[in-house]
Structure 1
């Protein structure tokens, strides 16, 4: 009888553990960050992701399209603040797969054609926002 009562008490605590996890929350209509914040003569931009268009190979043309998508977003933020890629002083690149490093470089470089290259860091990241293969964040200086 004692074992039966003990087993019943133990089982009484299990349902809380056996409950299914709540469904993930949908992305908010407005994201909890600004595209960019100016502090003095420095513009700090939030990271911009690039996504591979549906049906494209994530490690060839699709990846190149994702890089262009991220860099074009950065270009729009720069333009909204009266700047261009010549004002970028530092970029941080996050790649879901470091094997894409050469493809990233090839697609990134034309954005700085005729301009000096910014300082840059890059690292591999497992699990970027929305399953993106890359994210790029930049800092620009007003001249």
Structure 2
């Protein structure tokens, strides 16, 4: 490991309030076997959710962009619920859209999952390809103070 990389990791850990990466908690409840990632990782008071596609146990949901957008947001909500959290805990989202012309369509779905005065910070970017041929992917961070 390079000194620069170690410095970055230590800086990130200092921001999370955990002593080392070994203190992070990995959440995988409901994650199908063989997936090369955790559904979420808690580092101190912050929970990092892996990107969610509009999939169910059969793959991409039918119905196109709006259906995939709803399902991706429902998947985020389900992971949070499994961790005793909710959409009010979400502080930042990154949205990846295969066709940025559908950005406004996504926004119509997205805002329905949050209170108007509690919209998370957000970035959106176009992607020339998403896993499984998905049309949209939603990645979030949630603030969830550790109970003492």
- Normalising by structure 1, what TM-score? 0.72
In 1, distance between residues paired with 2:144 and 2:118? Answer: 15
In 2, distance between residues paired with 1:91 and 1:134? Answer: 13
In 2, distance between residues paired with 1:35 and 1:126? Answer: 23
Kindly state the Cα deviation for residue 113 of structure 1 after the two structures are TM-superposed.
2.7
In 2, distance between residues paired with 1:115 and 1:86? Answer: 10
Which secondary structure does the structure 2 equivalent of 1:32 belong to? coil
User: Which structure is higher in RCO with an 8 Å CA cutoff and minimum separation 6?
Assistant: 1
Larger radius of gyration: 1
List structure 1 segments (4+ residues) > 4 angstroms apart after TM superposition: none
Question: Does the aligned pair in 2 maintain the 1:95–1:135 contact within 8 Å?
Answer: yes
Structure 2 gaps of 5+ residues are 1-31
Residue 93 of structure 1 is matched in structure 2 by 95
Which secondary structure does the structure 1 equivalent of 2:85 belong to? coil
Kindly state the Cα deviation for residue 30 of structure 1 after the two structures are TM-superposed.
1.4
CA deviations on 1:35-91 (whole Å, 9 max, x unpaired) are 00000010000000125644x4xxxxx311111100000001101111100000000
Task: Give the counterpart of 1:34 among 35, 38, 47.
Answer: 38
Structure 1 gaps of 5+ residues are 1-27, 57-61
Question: Does the aligned pair in 1 maintain the 2:96–2:138 contact within 8 Å?
Answer: yes
Residue 74 of structure 2 is matched in structure 1 by 72
Question: Does the aligned pair in 2 maintain the 1:37–1:45 contact within 8 Å?
Answer: yes
Q: CA RMSD in A?
A: 1.6
Which secondary structure does the structure 1 equivalent of 2:139 belong to? strand
- Normalising by structure 2, what TM-score? 0.70
Question: Does the aligned pair in 2 maintain the 1:86–1:115 contact within 8 Å?
Answer: no
Aligned residues: 110
Residue 117 of structure 1 is matched in structure 2 by 119
- 1:1-143 to structure 2, matched below 5 A, reads 29-50=33-54, 53-54=61-62, 56=63, 62-113=64-115, 115-143=117-145
